[in-house]
Amino acid sequence: MNAVAQTSRGSLRWPAAPRPPVPLSLWTAQAIAVATGGQASGAFQVSGVEIDSRDVRSGDLFVALAGETTDGHAFLAKAFANGAAAALVDRPVPYPHVLVADTFAALQALAATARGRVPKARIVGVTGSVGKTGVKEAIFATLQRHAAGHAHRSIRSYNNHVGVPLSLARMPAASRYGVFEMGMNHAGEIAGLTAQVRPHVAVITTVAPAHIENLGSMAAIADAKAEIFAGLAPGGTAVIPADSPHFEQLRDAALAASARILSFGSAAHADMQLVDAIPAANGGSLVTARLGDRHLCYNVAHPGEHWVANSLCVMAAVHAAGADLGAAGLALAEMGGLKGRGARLRVPVPGGHALFIDESYNANPASMRATLAQLGQTPATRRIAVLGSMKELGEFAPSFHAQLADPLAAAGVDHAVLVGPEMTALAGELGKAVRRALGKPAGFVHCTGSGEAIAALEDWGLTAGDVVLVKGSNSIGLGQVIAHFAQKTAD
């Protein structure tokens, strides 16, 4: 019996005894006041923490942050209309509240207290140029299986200077595991975030040319990602990609932080090493990996070679956290695509359905290539790629966009819809291919925005069996393309 089968049996046992009762409140007024040094208007309890009045749910603490263009205090009435139980404010208000000098500093203090009240919890921090949200979600799904009701994670992409303390402040005192995503645009940002999270396991998924405009080189990007090791708890583990050209740089940074090293990939020196990956009937992969003298066999529901690599990263992180590898296998087999990050949508069209692959949330050169390769492996009558500009590439932008011509051709794309000014370089390359008439060059249009992209797709007319990849940086707004065609499934 292999290791996964052995551990899976334990992960599926019904608890022998009822779980201990969990308090209904996340924070009391007194606890918030103590954590923040503020003054409570009275006694109350809250069950959540929110900074956007539109997302407030019944029982939440609304933190009225003052931004560059808006002040959260202007939305207090809306927050309480949506069910807020109290607010964190910097001025007296006619609602239940805790009064503090600075609401952002108070949120950070609340986060620090939340991290400090789970001294026995195992905390995982995740960063990387590509794949960090999906890996974070897969690790959480595993830990939730392993310790049902006692795992916590940052939602969506709450990975910046506001999202990380907000996610920490939401962590219940009964948590046994926490998984937090950390992102960056500039050097030094990860260092500040990891100091708050203080992970026991620090994961770097990949090093790729995202944000190269701000950092200048791939080596600088690797250094910025490696800042996550500086916040490791004593005896912590660094999970790093063995196949990366920057492996030695990451390894040395982790060793300088006195971390254990657990690498993953197909390289001979990888600790969690890929043995084999074959296509599975569901469109995903059947993966065999080696960890020491153990072999692990599991299914990955997500299609694509990049998810095979992600799965090795997840397995390594779960092992480092001391959780159940069998539960990890089950979680990877059952995970659906995330909105904007691989979700699949079947849209009714004449004669049947077209398949939309929603990768509209983010894009960089590495993830573009990976998802185009995935598109090429997806059975289709026609393959259509709606590609939006990749941002924060600076002077490298024209070359990185132009270099997408080869992956488009390799994927057998029939039509390409290019959206955004940076796509001019790719349009030029595709135009050259059409003029040379080599092979079967993709037909293409270059649009200024998502509205034109929608019109182009409608003009072409989708037919049964079409597969449409929609991918671009979030600021391009290609989520509107998905929303437009998703509406057809509701009509």
What tokens appear for 405 in the block? 């011509």
The domain containing residue 212 runs over which residues?
A: 118-334
Q: What is the CATH number of the domain that holds 356?
A: 3.90.190.20
**Any domain includes 90:** yes
Strand order across the beta sheet in which 443-447 lies: 343-349, 352-359, 467-471, 383-388, 415-419, 443-447
Give, in order, the Cα–Cα distances in Å from 411 to each of 163, 189, 372, 405, 418: 36, 36, 6, 10, 16
- Residue 209 is given by DSSP the state S
Residue that finishes a domain, picked among 309, 334, 359: 334
Assigned domain for 173 exists: yes
- What is this structure's pTM? 0.81
10 Å CB burial of residue 32 (0-12, 13-18, 19+) is: buried
Query: What residues of the chain score a pLDDT lower than 50?
Result: 1-23
Main-chain phi, psi angles of 386, to 5 degrees: -100, 105
- Residue 10 inside a domain? The answer is no
The CATH number of whichever domain residue 133 belongs to comes to 3.40.1190.10
Question: What is the greatest pairwise CA distance in the chain?
Answer: 75
124 and 247 co-located in one domain: yes
Signed CA dihedral, 251, 252, 253, 257: sign only? positive
**351 shares its domain with 428:** yes
Considering the domain architecture, whether residues 123 and 158 belong to the same structural domain is answered as yes
The DSSP letter of residue 474 is: G
So what's the pLDDT on residue 1? 40
Q: What pLDDT is attached to residue 312?
A: 98
The CATH number given to whatever domain includes residue 65 is 3.40.1390.10
Q: Which helix (H) or strand (E) holds 450?
A: helix 450-460
Contact 327, 7 (CB under 8 A): yes
Tokens for 479? Answer: 């989520």
Asked if residue 6 belongs to a domain, the reply is no
Q: Of the candidates 284, 312, 334, which is a domain's last residue?
A: 334
What pairs with residue 357 in β-bridges?
344, 469
Q: What is the full DSSP assignment across 219-287?
A: HHHHHHHHGGGGGPPTT-EEEEETTSTTHHHHHHHHHHTT-EEEEEESSTT-SEEEEEEEE-TTSSEEE
Flag whether 458 is in a domain.
yes
- Same structural domain for residues 182 and 40? no
* Domain co-membership, 327 together with 354: no
Q: Is 317 found in the same domain as 200?
A: yes
Same domain, 271 and 417: no
Give the position of tokens 């790093």.
240
Q: Which residues of 194-224 are buried (b: 16+ CB within 10 A; e: fewer)?
A: bebbbbbbbbbbbbbbbbbebbeebeebbbb
Is the Cβ–Cβ distance between 401 and 389 less than 8 Å? Answer: yes
Considering the domain architecture, whether residues 179 and 247 belong to the same structural domain is answered as yes
Q: Give pLDDT, residue 208.
A: 86
The reply to whether 374 and 472 lie within a common domain is: yes
Q: Which of 274, 306, 334 is the last residue of a domain?
A: 334
Tell whether 138 and 240 lie within a shared domain.
yes
Residue entry with tokens 């070679």:
305
Specify the pLDDT at position 319: 97
Report helix, strand or coil for 444: strand
Q: Assess whether 265 and 406 both reside in one domain.
A: no
Q: How many domains does the chain have?
A: 3
What's residue 269's pLDDT? 97
Q: What is the pLDDT of residue 283?
A: 79
Q: Is the domain of 206 the same as that of 72?
A: no
- The answer as to whether 301 is a domain residue is yes
In a domain, 460, yes or no: yes
Whether residue 20 is contained in a domain is answered as no
